[in-house]
A and B are shown apart, each in its own frame.
Chain A
Amino acid sequence: MCARNSIYTNPKPCKHLADYKLRHGFNTYDSIRNCLKTTPNGRTRVAKHTTKIPRCSFCDRYQGRLYFCLMCSSLWCPSHILLHTQSEKGHEVAIDMDRSELYCCLCCDQVYDPDFDKVVVCNQVKDLPGGSKSKTNSFEASGERSSKRKRLDSGIGLDLKKSELLVSMRDRRAKSCYPLGLRGLNNLGSTCFMNSVLQALLHAPPLRNYFLNDRHNSVQCRKRSGEKLCLLCDIDAISSAMFCGDRTPYTPAHFLYSWWQHSSNLASYEEQDAHEFFISVLDGIHEKESKIRNSGKDDGDCQCIAHRAFSGLLRSDVTCISCGFTSTTYDPCVDISLNMDTSNLSSSNANKPIKPDEKTSVSTLSGCLNLFTRAERLGSDQKLHCQNCQELRDSSKQLSIRRLPLVLCLHIKRVEHSLVRKISRKINQYMQFPFSLDMTPYLSSSIVRSKFGNRIFTFEYDNSNSSAAYEIFAVIAHSGMLESGHYVTYLRLKNQWYKCDDAWISEVDEGIVRASQCYMLFYVQKLLYNKANEDSSFVRISPRRDPFESTAGCS
């Protein structure tokens, strides 16, 4: 296995390419600078002979891969390029015409060179319409990077170790040696949707630390705002209750009341959607905070705990099919809703005679994320106005993640709407998900990079830090039907999984979790996960109780 941590380990040039570069110095790729042509979809081709059809100089073949010799601009097919190299000394390096990738004829393999990629990328940026504009889109000003660094630091500011209120002490009252913070929540009438989300929120490292560090002081809050209702105060109360060491199930009645006040449209004893509840809670937290601070800051820079933990930035690129002009927009998000990748399993593949060894018939999280970041051609009924063409054109849209949040909430859309029958159906399809997740392939830097083909050229905002590595800490699983189902939360504390089914907490094997029907997945950045799991044997000092009360120990 690869010993290095980073995914992109730049391959070294082969001996032949290195020699070739030495011989030609700065003029290595001058010959092709004027031969590169970029199509609207972003593919860069070598197009020297605009009149003739490119053919192999030996066998006249025009189909399949053709290579363009850097030295003499002759064209060869893969079978005959070796002949050329053997007969002409110094003609070792060629370019795959269709893909603009370097090929070493002696190694019979693809080779990579950042200088070459630079030529290709510059040409592409220049060729596509909105050249100078797209330059600022692709190559972000360094000002934005420093603000990103600031955000990461503020994330570390929620670190446990900075607190002064925590006492390192093991609670001996636990009826088992369950870690602290595990406590059941009573169901108040189809409120499993609420209980499951609360369990996940309270154990999200940034929020857990926030409340345990007493960052939201209820007394001060009431004094400041004068309002009786504050979702944060209620969550703070639940957090204290969860971590106080008492294992009897807790009843979050006051929180439910507060939340009903906030989201009156959802106030009923009916089963609600857990994701909808999650969004409304974050919204409630944000609203309160922005009232206090009187800041009209947009979600991207908001410093309320909800946004500090969950806020990320999505990038949307809309490309005109005709001319290639791309317009880019950024939108903040607190979670990502994914459609399930069931298209691989449909009957469109039924008439394939050969089945590959690998199973492609299972829905996976990476499949869903791939679907999310795939370039999607918008239908002809959704033509958009292209600034370059000055008319309505067919376009394609591609999403990617510009900035990842500290806590990544992935929502799996399991509802299928049938317009014909006007009913909604739940998709019970099993979806496989990993415990360790690398989000690098879904970042804007990766997606945008891939638009230039197979390049190792580094872009300015490549996230070389490891903040794309995530560890799962909570899974909200749903069982049953759309209207009458049940939510449970699986929590991962110190590498042990626990099932939180309303009032009942139990230890479970990771196999159970993997086999569950996931609805919402909660991942946290690996660094925070590791810190959170280092030392969580503490007790919050509650003014009401004596922390040194002796109790029966656990075996």
Chain B
Amino acid sequence: MKHSVNRPPTPDAAEDQGKEPTLQEIINIKLIESGEKERLMELLRERLIDCGWKDEMKALCRAHVKKKGRTNVTVDDLVHLITPKGRASVPDSVKAELLQRIRTFLMSAAL
């Protein structure tokens, strides 16, 4: 084999060239460029603290660390642990509010 064993495999050629950005990507780019994404993230952080979501996740992490021992847990472990539960327990009101904000933004950006 000519390639070095350690080199990661080349990604699929079709993926790379002539790749059309998806709608999701376009929206994301627009959000970042205008700085709206930063504001939305800040709003989201605020809401998640207010409704107690952050405290719940903290409690989950604490319980896990207590069980496994402080030196046997990594950040990656914790992220994998709380990601599914975290995503599922975001209150609907928070989701609705953010969606509304994004919609408003898109309407104003499209003009």
Show the binding face of A for B, using Cβ within 8 Å: 39, 41, 53, 58-60, 62-63, 65, 78, 80, 83, 86-87, 103, 107-110, 343-344, 348-349, 351-354, 356-358, 360, 374, 377
Cα distance A45–B25 when bound, in Å? 21
Check A351 against B75 for contact (C-beta < 8 Å): no
User: Is B34 part of the binding interface, using a Cβ–Cβ cutoff of 8 Å?
Assistant: no
Residues of A within 8 A of B52 (CB): 343-344, 349, 360
Check B85 against A354 for contact (C-beta < 8 Å): yes
Known contacts A39-B38, A41-B42, A358-B56: A349-B88 contact under CB 8 Å: no
Check A62 against B28 for contact (C-beta < 8 Å): yes
Known contacts A83-B8, A349-B52: A103-B29 contact under CB 8 Å: no
Q: Whose C-beta in chain A lies nearest to the C-beta of B49? A: A374
Cα distance A360–B60 when bound, in Å? 12
Cα distance A354–B92 when bound, in Å? 12
B75 partner, pick from A109, A348, A353, beta carbons under 8 A: A109
Given A58-B8, A59-B11, A356-B60, output 4 extra A-B contacts at Cβ < 8 Å: A78-B79, A87-B6, A108-B75, A351-B93
Check A360 against B75 for contact (C-beta < 8 Å): no
Cα distance A108–B80 when bound, in Å? 12
Cα distance A417–B93 when bound, in Å? 26
Residues of A within 8 A of B91 (CB): 348-349, 351-352
Q: Whose C-beta in chain A lies nearest to the C-beta of B45? A: A41
Residues of B within 8 A of A360 (CB): 52, 55-56, 59
Check A86 against B29 for contact (C-beta < 8 Å): no
Report 16 cross-chain contacts, Cβ distance below 8 Å, ordered by A residue. Answer: A53-B28, A53-B32, A60-B15, A63-B28, A78-B76, A87-B4, A108-B75, A109-B74, A109-B76, A110-B74, A351-B92, A353-B88, A353-B89, A354-B85, A357-B60, A377-B46
User: Is B7 part of the binding interface, using a Cβ–Cβ cutoff of 8 Å?
Assistant: yes
Known contacts A78-B76, A110-B75, A349-B51: A356-B32 contact under CB 8 Å: no
Cα distance A58–B8 when bound, in Å? 9
Total chain B interface residues with beta-carbon distance under 8 A: 32
Cα distance A356–B51 when bound, in Å? 14
Check B93 against A354 for contact (C-beta < 8 Å): no
A354 partner, pick from B25, B42, B89, beta carbons under 8 A: B89
B7 partner, pick from A87, A108, A351, beta carbons under 8 A: A87
User: Is B50 part of the binding interface, using a Cβ–Cβ cutoff of 8 Å?
Assistant: yes
Check A348 against B59 for contact (C-beta < 8 Å): no
* Interface of chain B: mostly helix, strand, loop or mixed: helix
Cα distance A374–B45 when bound, in Å? 13
Q: Whose C-beta in chain B lies nearest to the C-beta of A361? A: B52
Taking the closest CB of chain A, its distance from the CB of B46, in whole angstroms, is 7
Residues of A within 8 A of B4 (CB): 87
User: Is B109 part of the binding interface, using a Cβ–Cβ cutoff of 8 Å?
Assistant: no
User: Is B63 part of the binding interface, using a Cβ–Cβ cutoff of 8 Å?
Assistant: yes
Check A108 against B50 for contact (C-beta < 8 Å): no
Check B75 against A343 for contact (C-beta < 8 Å): no
Taking the closest CB of chain B, its distance from the CB of A424, in whole angstroms, is 25
- List B residues 27-50 near A (Cβ within 8 Å): 28-29, 32, 38, 42, 46, 49-50
Q: Whose C-beta in chain B lies nearest to the C-beta of A348? A: B51
Taking the closest CB of chain A, its distance from the CB of B84, in whole angstroms, is 9
Residues of B within 8 A of A107 (CB): 74
B50 partner, pick from A109, A343, A352, beta carbons under 8 A: A343
Interchain residue pairs A-B with the least CB separation, the first 3: A109-B74, A358-B59, A344-B52
Q: Whose C-beta in chain B lies nearest to the C-beta of A98? A: B41
Cα distance A354–B89 when bound, in Å? 6
Q: Whose C-beta in chain B lies nearest to the C-beta of A344? A: B52
Residues of B within 8 A of A110 (CB): 74-75
Residues of B within 8 A of A344 (CB): 51-52, 55
Residues of A within 8 A of B8 (CB): 58, 80, 83, 87
Residue of A59, A78, A83, A349 contacting most chain B CB atoms (<10 Å): A349
Residues of A within 8 A of B56 (CB): 356, 358, 360
Cα distance A7–B8 when bound, in Å? 43
Residues of B within 8 A of A60 (CB): 15
Cα distance A51–B16 when bound, in Å? 19
Check A86 against B6 for contact (C-beta < 8 Å): yes
Cα distance A65–B91 when bound, in Å? 22
Q: Whose C-beta in chain A lies nearest to the C-beta of B42? A: A41
Residues of A within 8 A of B51 (CB): 343-344, 348-349
Cα distance A186–B49 when bound, in Å? 47
Q: Whose C-beta in chain B lies nearest to the C-beta of A367? A: B55
Check A352 against B89 for contact (C-beta < 8 Å): yes
Taking the closest CB of chain A, its distance from the CB of B62, in whole angstroms, is 9
